[in-house]
Structure 1
Amino acid sequence: MATSEVIKKSIKNGSPGIRVDDRQGQLLEIACRLFARQGYKGTSLRDIADEAQITKAALYYHFPNKEALYQQIVLESTRALVDAVRESVARAAGPVEKVRAFMLTSADVFEHTRDAWVAGSNAFWDAEGTGPRSAAVGQRDEYEKLLRACIAEGIQSGDFRPVDPAIAGRLLLSTINQLSRWHSPKGPLSPRQVIEQYLDIVLPGLQAPASKR
């Protein structure tokens, strides 16, 4: 099963992490966890093989090299994020609800696919510009442009102040992007609850005065 389909199923079922029965999926789950905790450079194919209790040669049967494995995780998890957010935004009634749908769906994806999210984030911020990072940039741009479009729609409709959509988008995305640095799964608030509080703080400043709507 493709990583993106596994992630979508995980989000729909509300179950954290990648959980699959097929062998390749299990290897992806292990690799996700190690890449998230140890980084790309800090994780070897030997680490993944040892964790999976298979030989390195057996791992090569499924993936030709470490970059191919990492790239599959990064690209498919990012694709699943974009697809999930796009579907949620399409169902929302207006600009304000579209922004909320974008942010809350992103929080849900983070919660249910935390390791894949962190692995993808690490690749995106890799200063050396690895293959996975280069390939993920286009999908990340698509993700950010979707949020900017929601904000721009709100400005045009009069629901939002005439702000720069790119700046407003970066402000909102920073709340999501920082979750992996401090949020604990054992904490009192879920990612969705955290983002709901952020939205309660940020959205009133973004919305136009009631008299101008």
Structure 2
Amino acid sequence: MWPTILHRDAWRKNLAENVRKRKKTASRQAELLEIAAKIFAEQGYKETGIESILKQAGLTGPALYRHFSSKQEILDTICVNSMAYGLGQLVAIDDDETLAPEEKLRQLLKVRLDYLFGPSGQSHILSVSQVAHLSDAAREKIVAMQREYRARCGAMLKLLRPTVTDGELNVIFFSMQQLTLYGIWHYKRRSLMPAQEYRELLERMMWNTLMA
């Protein structure tokens, strides 16, 4: 009896320790990705040496490579995670049957701007501006998620604007992408407006683009 109880207690302690280690590793990886995303966005992927990331993160090479095998894997992970997060937000809103079509679109704009104006906003910029430097595998994943994102957004918009054509949707989505990218880039580097005012202005402009 006692050996069984002791064995069970040891197993539980070991499980708890493994969970703690996994959480610590995941937290450190997220921190590294956030640091790398900021540096890539400011300096460019090709121009950034792995040493810059190590210095900013306060790590040695071996410590970094316990989390990621290369600078390429870091960029791929940042961009794929960013697109997956955005798609997850969209799916959750689109599947919410309590929301009317207009509420869904307005909620989508809100959560996207929450993300873009937050500490991880650089990741979205990278997924578009540094697409040429992604690996083929990462690019394929992102393109597939972008297709689903646009298809769902298009279907949501058509519920409000039944006569909108596919050609018009392409123009709307391209305009939204450019507005979002330049808007966030300008805010982070040059804007003298208070963050909340800038965000509200950008949200109105994005909504007007959807309804144009």
Aligned: 1:102 with 2:100 = no
- The residue identity in structure 1 corresponding to 2:61 is K
User: Aligned residue for 1:42?
Assistant: 47
Contact 2:154–2:169, Cα closer than 8 Å, also in 1:
yes
Contact 1:77/1:120 (<8 A) preserved: yes
- Give the aligned residue type for 1:102: L
**Are 1:117 and 2:117 matched, yes or no?**
no
- 2:164 equivalent to 1:167: no
Q: Which has the higher helix share?
A: 2
User: In the TM superposition, what are the counterparts of 1:110-189 in structure 2 within 5 Å?
Assistant: 110-112=116-118, 113-124=120-131, 126=132, 130-131=135-136, 132-156=138-162, 161-163=163-165, 164-184=168-188, 187-189=193-195
Per-residue CA deviations over 1:29-64 (Å, capped at 9, x if unaligned) read 211211121121111222111222222122112111
Paired residue for 1:9? none
- Structure 1: 5+ residue runs without aligned partners? 1-19, 206-213
Is the contact between residue 72 and residue 134 of structure 2 (CA under 8 Å) also seen in structure 1?
Answer: no
Contact 1:35 1:119 in 2 (8 A): yes
Aligned with 1:54 (options 40, 59, 64):
59
After superposing the two structures, state which structure 1 stretch, 26-35 or 72-81, moved more.
26-35
Cα gap change, 1:173 to 1:96, in 2 (>3 Å): farther
TM-score scaled by structure 1? 0.70
For 1:26, which of 27, 31, 36 is the aligned residue?
31
TM-score by length of 2: 0.71
Shift of 1:65: 1.0
Contact 1:102 1:147 in 2 (8 A): no
For residues 53 and 204 of structure 1, do their structure 2 counterparts lie closer, same or farther at Cα, with a shift above 3 Å needed? closer
Give the partner amino acid of 1:169: F
Q: Could you list the structure 1 runs, at least 4 aligned residues long, displaced by more than 6 angstroms after superposition.
A: none
- CA 1:165/1:23 → structure 2, altered by over 3 Å: closer, same or farther? closer
Identity across aligned pairs (percent)? 22
Residue correspondences, number: 180
Is the CA contact 1:39–1:122 (under 8 Å) kept in the aligned structure 2? no
CA RMSD of aligned residues (A): 2.8
Which structure: larger Rg? 2
Distance 1:129 1:63, change over 3 A: closer
Report the 3-state secondary structure (helix = DSSP H, G, I; strand = E; otherwise coil) of the residue aligned with 2:161.
helix
8 Å CA contact 1:110, 1:117 repeated in 2: yes
Query: Where does residue 202 of structure 2 map in the other structure?
Result: 195
CA distance in 2, matches of 1:66, 1:203: 37
